[in-house]
Copies of this chain bind each other. A is one copy, B any other.
Amino acid sequence: MNNFNMSAEQIADRQGVVDQSVLEISLGFRVRRAQLAILQDFQDVLGDQGIRPADFSVLSIIAGNSGLRQSDVAAILSIQRANFVALVDGLEEKGLIERRKSATDRRVYFLHMTDAGMAFLQSLMPKWREHEDKFIGRLGGYEKRDQLIEMLRCISD
């Protein structure tokens, strides 16, 4: 490769000339980039299981808290009720969770894991940990991870 075949970006990168100074110190930009990198890896590692990040988060919440109301799970995950319906539909059609009518308030559905759902979530965990560990490794260990989580919590709270 010679200079004639190099794009402006390549020349600039080699010479350190591309000025990204504003973006490089932008929390919005860097958080977005990190989010995209993690999303990409999630899809690479867990995509063939037919599961998306939102699905995983719903299963995690229900597995740890059997019988929450549908709208409460949505609220915990900051998903709008309207958008949560199709998500719950999908997990229910796969037999991973089930809706149970409330006996005292007939508007309400309680969400429960099925045995199959619990087994499926368990089967996902090794891959999921591998996925998370990849980034913990890049950070330099669990202590760094905890520091990062704490900072991210400051941002979203």
Contacts and interface: CB of A to CB of B under 8 A. Distances in A.
A33 interface: yes
Nearest to A121: B22
A142 B57 CA distance: 32
SS class of chain A's interface: helix, strand, loop or mixed?
helix
Interface string A130-150: 011001101110001111110
A76 to B, nearest CB: 6
Interface of A: 7-9, 12, 17-39, 42, 53, 57, 60-61, 64-65, 67-69, 71-72, 75-76, 78, 110, 131-132, 135-136, 138-140, 144-149, 151-157
A12 B78 contact: no
